[in-house]
Structure 1
Amino acid sequence: MTRPGHRHGHGRRLCNNPPTRRGMPRARRCRGADSRASGCNARICAPRRLTSPIPAMTLPPSDAPRHDPAPAAPDPAGDETDGASSSADRAPAAEPRQEALEFLLRRMRHRGDFPALSSSVTAINRITASESESVGKLSDLILRDFSLTNKLLRVVNSAHYRPTGSSISTISRAVIVLGFDAVRNIAITVLLFEHLHDKANAAQLKEEFLRACLAGLLARDIGARLRLRELEQAYICAVFHNLGRLVSQYYFPEESEDIRRVMKETGCRDDLAAQQVLGLSFEDLGIGLAEAWGFPPVIVGSMRKVAEGTVRRPDTLEGRLRALSGCANELCDAVASLPARERDRVIRHIASRFADAVPMTEDKVRESLASSIEELADLAQVIQVRLPATRIGRQLDHFIHATEGAAPPEDDAPLPGQLRERSQAEDAGAPAGAAASRLDAQAILTAGIQDITSALLEGLKLNDVLRIILETVYRAMGFKHVLLCIRDARGNTMTGRFGFGPDIDRLIRSVRFSLATQPDNVFNVATAKGVDILISDVDDPQIAGRIPAWYRQALASQTFVLFPLTLKNTPVALIYADKDRAGDIVIAEHELALLRTLRNQALLAIKQAA
């Protein structure tokens, strides 16, 4: 180990110095069938594009007795509605439906991005808010995705999420301030958009995604106005209410186009048209996927469509979420796709139909829609979608103008109003080049210091403050691992407590060393003397003998840095950070000063806790 300033030293103190498909022919009308009870103007038998084992299905005439091939699953909201039966009653038999679902899931798995999306969503769903370390686990999972982290932080700092004037610069603090469920839902929403991106299919995908997001925002806004407690559950339930339609557009774009054509030619609802083309409804596809992704039963159950007719006040959580999700999605479909005169009539009908289950006057519904549209504009700016350039954006702008009493713009005219203003701000804030895609380490460290100052003033728990500090170091410097070790006074040992990075749980269990031994290795030197040490290359002959055996057994990183935390000449903690390759850790003087400020904030938090 060499003294600072020796260029040849590799350990030094830190100092201030699928199969082919044939074309699908036009849908043909079946003879002698009246399908008015099924929601179609004419009964259809649309030839399918899929090569699958799914048997052909036909829709019975309205006067035919109903006999399902297999008993339908109990309807969780069956006692909440009257009028026509739900779409679950018209679903195909359980066995053919399951065969169709498995076939479609197999096709989806052949897309290279589907396993990654499934893995990410499933991993997030496995983390429950009841776990003691849920904040750290969720933060660590999100931080592994650079793009997801940046977009999520932009969302939580938007006016609709940020509850105070202070900004939030870390995922850990976002979870603490906004709540576990809110951050998890934002992460899943952004993940969905990040993965469901296809240039050849971009326009329609944006429409479906924005519509789903608007439904979620609307459900949460209505829930807040009704003083419901399950606001974040309402959001995610509404977003995923039409999951089947969204994933179909991405993974089966040609079949989705066939479904729209069948609907246009026959007046059939989308679920029935999907059943003809895909072999099962959008609803069943979405529910099957949600179950595969590990969503809880209460969310999966809420994805069932609400039956036609008056919707009664539900008496269960699942019923409330199902009614609210159904109402929000129907309102969004009306605003996003209907001309003004028909839109207003349908909004009145929806408000009346859900009046018992979702008690909102038509005026309050319109207020909630306007507020949710404004929030959608913020979200679109964050994820870099030009909302005014989309069909749904133009529809929403028409609605805003009508609500404000102004004349709506022409379809081909430049869009005035708030949506256009947001688009201009969005363009102005776009990165100038590839260099702008990397966040500046100094800026992240500075923002983190401000974040921690706010956390200390707010009196957050010690572990929460320390976790924010570690995350700031991890994200700013691009380390592979960042780990906090805490002194165990009983055994006079330093042990791993928590951190960030791949396989961090194993690393935490592996890091344990005695403080009673002589300072014969770099870890003991750092803690005993209270000095910061950077090891550029663990295999350098001048330093290799000072690397402890337990380190080489537990880690493969070739370079690391140590920041000890000392109170009254007694080591109380240690911050460890590493990278894979020798020489990869380079810390500029101004960055080192900020890192030491973070270390001092950690010491202050420990003093306050004591």
Structure 2
Amino acid sequence: MPGFFSWISGLFATPPPAAAATETRLFNPAQSHSPEQHASDAVVVKQLEDHLFCWLLDASPAMLRSEPAGAEQILTELERRLRTSEMEELPRRPGSLPMLMRALSNETTDRKQITDIILSDPSLTDQLLQVANSPYFRPGDSTIESVDQAVFVLGLDGIRNVISAAVMRPMMAARNSREALFAQRAWRWGLTCARATELIARIHRDDTSAHFMVGLLPALAYITIRRELGRIYRAQSAGSEPEPAVLRTALIRHQWAACQLLANVWNLPPKYHAWLLSAERPAPRQAHSALTDGLLLGTREVLRHARQRNLPEDKLAQIVHLTPEQVTPVRKAVLRMLQEGKSSKADA
């Protein structure tokens, strides 16, 4: 995809990202109001981002501000690996993904076709049944015992989201105790943002299942960056684990480039790249995308449910481009998912 490589080359051809003013962030409000209002929105979304990193990294604000000596050398190596596609921790595309995406995007696909594709991949079959039976997705108390039953019970729309989660879940599962808390929280955050993004896409009459998958990509990018940074630390004898402040800087600088790289390596359709780019660098007076509003709303709700610092109601209304009547059902659905997921030991 030449467009993607032109984009990522342009990204790394810019001046070094040491200047905070030029950093792209997770939440990037478009300038749809006056410069004063835009500046106010930027302050609010930065507050939400700061609260998210404190929770994800289990660190205080002071810890996230104190970068150790030598951090820039490590961050430069991470940037080099990302720019040259030498990321050792970049997840490979699941073999059945292209066939599944074609089938799921075809409105004439029936239940048997979806079932047959899933059953052709034993590892996906196992993951799908685990995810379908998790509190986040199971619609009732009965256990789903087969793929055919999952497709029947969840419907084609529901199974699309379960497939996306089943594809990504093994890549985000904790490998050891050191990354366990981060992996668990990133997964919960990713699912919440994906669900919010999907529901907002439905409001906009857009592709809901594709938005669910793109809503999961930032969380997968986070765990990928964390693992790559850990490899660099071990290779440079800088310690076994990156400090929270270094990890925060790495995530801020490279989260969107990592998302785009994942979408490219997995050969996701061009619309995924467009949604990611629109969220990273919104055009002036651009209406918020479903992904942007999904990330904002999902982040706020997952922090609120975890009893962390988040945003008051009036600040949320200021930055989310949805009416109160649109926000309410999305929040209720997200909260219900979080409450049901809380009972799961694996995802708590």
- For the residues of structure 1 that align with 2:169 and 2:31, how far apart are their CA atoms? 35
Select which of 302, 310, 322 maps to 1:343.
310
Partner of 2:189: 211
Q: Displacement, 1:353? A: 1.4
Is contact 2:133-2:143 (8 Å) kept? Answer: yes
Alignment of 1:559-574 (within 5 A): none
Within 5 Å, which residues of 2 pair with 1:24-423? 57-60=16-19, 83=38, 100-108=81-89, 114-115=91-92, 117-130=93-106, 135-136=111-112, 138-146=114-122, 148-153=124-129, 155-156=131-132, 169-172=145-148, 174-175=150-151, 178-197=154-173, 198-200=175-177, 201-220=179-198, 226=203, 228=205, 230-253=207-230, 258=242, 260-262=244-246, 270=248, 273-274=249-250, 281-304=254-277, 306=279, 314=287, 320-332=289-301, 334-335=303-304, 339=308, 342-345=309-312, 348-354=314-320, 356-357=321-322, 359-360=324-325, 367-377=332-342, 381=344, 385=346, 387=348
Report if the CA contact (8 A) 1:221-1:372 is conserved: no
Alignment of 1:465-544 (within 5 A): none
- Give the Cα separation in 2 of the matches to 1:206 and 1:164: 24
| AA partner of residue 310 (structure 2) | R
- The C-alpha deviation readout for 1:526-552, integer Å capped at 9, x for no partner, is xxxxxxxxxxxxxxxxxxxxxxxxxxx
Displacement of 1:104 in angstroms is: 4.7
In structure 1, give the amino acid aligned to 2:293: L
Structure 1 counterpart SS, 2:267 = coil
- Structure 1 position 262, deviation (Å): 3.7
The CA deviation string for residues 140-176 of structure 1, in whole angstroms up to 9 with x for no partner, is 3422444542453354467875679987654345445
Q: 1:283 touches 1:305 (CA, 8 Å); kept in 2?
A: no
Q: Is the 8 A contact 1:185 1:232 kept in 2?
A: yes
In 2, Cα distance between equivalents of 1:375 and 1:61: 39
Larger radius of gyration: 1
In the TM superposition, residue 56 of structure 1 has moved relative to its aligned partner by: 8.2
Q: Is the 8 A contact 1:174 1:183 kept in 2?
A: yes
How many Å separate the matches in 2 of 1:106 and 1:240?
16
Q: What is the Cα-based RMSD across aligned positions, in Å?
A: 4.9
Unaligned runs of 5+ in 2: 1-11, 46-76, 234-240
Code of the aligned partner of 1:238:
G
Amino acid at match of 1:203: L
Contact 1:215/1:239 (CA < 8 Å) preserved in 2?
A: yes
CA distance in 2, matches of 1:212, 1:275: 15
Partner Cα separation in structure 2 for residue 212 and residue 171 of structure 1 = 24
Relative distance call for 1:322 and 1:133 in structure 2 (3 A) is closer
Give how far 1:293 is off.
Answer: 0.7
Aligned mates of 1:344, 1:189 — CA distance in 2 = 28
Larger RCO, structures 1/2 (Cα 8 Å, 6+ apart): 2
Change (3 A) 1:78 1:292: farther
Q: Give me the whole-angstrom Cα distance separating, in 1, the residues matched to 2:281 and 2:188.
A: 25
The separation in 2 between residues aligned to 1:150 and 1:245, in whole angstroms, is 25
- TM-score, normalising length: structure 2: 0.60
* Equivalent position SS for 1:57: coil
Name the one with the larger helix percent. 2
Q: Could you state the TM-score of these two structures normalised by the residue count of structure 1?
A: 0.38
What CA deviation, in whole Å up to 9, does each residue of 1:44-95 have, x standing for no partner? xxxxxxxxx9998254486xxx8x9xxx9xxxx96868726999xxxxxxxx
Q: Point out where structure 1 has 5 or more consecutive residues left out of the alignment.
A: 1-52, 88-95, 264-269, 388-610
Q: Which residue of 2 aligns with 1:576?
A: none
Q: 1:167 to 1:281 in 2, by over 3 A?
A: closer
Distance in 2 separating the partners of 1:338 and 1:254:
32
- In 1, the alpha carbon distance for the partners of 2:186 and 2:165 equals 13
In structure 1, distance between residues paired with 2:190 and 2:304: 13
The structure where strand makes up a greater share of residues is: 1
> How far apart in 2 are the matches of 1:61 and 1:327?
21
* Paired residue secondary structure (2:310): helix
Superposition deviation, residue 212 in structure 1: 0.6
Against the structure 1 CA distance between its residues 166 and 212, is the aligned structure 2 distance closer, same or farther, given a 3 Å change threshold? Answer: closer
Structure-2 change in CA distance of 1:361 and 1:130 (3 Å):
closer
Q: Deviations over 1:250-289 (max 9, x none)?
A: 44336695473247xxxxxx4xx2279xxx5111111111
**Number of aligned residues:** 287
Give the structure 2 partner of residue 417 of structure 1: none
Residues in 2 aligned to 1:207 and 1:143: alpha-carbon distance in whole angstroms: 30
CA–CA distance in 2 between the matches of 1:99 and 1:216? 29
Q: Per-residue deviation at 1:371?
A: 1.5
Change (3 A) 1:125 1:59: same
Provide Cα deviations, 1:83-140, integer angstroms capped at 9, x if missing partner.
26999xxxxxxxx99964353544236xxxx44x543444533444317567555433
CA distance in 2 between counterparts of 1:250 and 1:123 reads: 29
Percent of matched pairs sharing the same residue: 16
- Displacement of 1:385 in angstroms is 0.1
**2:346 is aligned with what amino acid?**
V
Q: Which amino acid aligns with 2:82?
A: L
Query: Partners of 1:325 and 1:362 in 2: how far apart?
Result: 10
The SS at the match of 2:89 is helix
Could you say if the C-alpha distance between residues 218 and 131 of structure 1 is closer, same or farther in structure 2, counting changes exceeding 3 Å? closer
Distance 2:303 2:184 in 1: 17
80 and 127 in structure 1: CA distance in 2 versus 1, 3 angstrom threshold: farther
Secondary structure of 1:298's counterpart equals helix
Alignment-mate amino acid for residue 57 of structure 1: P
The separation in 1 between residues aligned to 2:327 and 2:18, in whole angstroms, is: 36
